[in-house]
A = this chain, B = another copy of it.
Amino acid sequence: MSVAKRNTWQKDAVKHALGESKGFVSAQDLHQVLRAHGSTIGLATVYRALADLANAGDADSLQSPDGQLLYRACGTSHHHHLICRECGLTVEIDASRVEAWADEIAKEHGFGDTTHTIDLFGLCRGCKGSK
Chain A interface residues toward B at CB < 8 A? 63, 65, 67, 69, 82, 84-85, 91, 93, 97-98, 101-102, 105-106, 109-125, 128
Q: Which residues from B are CB-within-8-Å of A69?
A: 67
Number of copies: 2
Q: Which residues from B are CB-within-8-Å of A119?
A: 116-117
Which single residue of chain B is at the shortest CB-CB distance from A69? B67
Q: What 17 new A-B contacts, CB under 8 Å, besides A82-B111, A111-B125, A116-B120?
A: A67-B67, A93-B105, A97-B101, A98-B101, A102-B120, A105-B120, A111-B120, A112-B122, A112-B123, A112-B128, A113-B128, A115-B121, A116-B119, A116-B121, A117-B118, A117-B120, A118-B118
CB distance from A85 to the nearest CB of B (A): 8
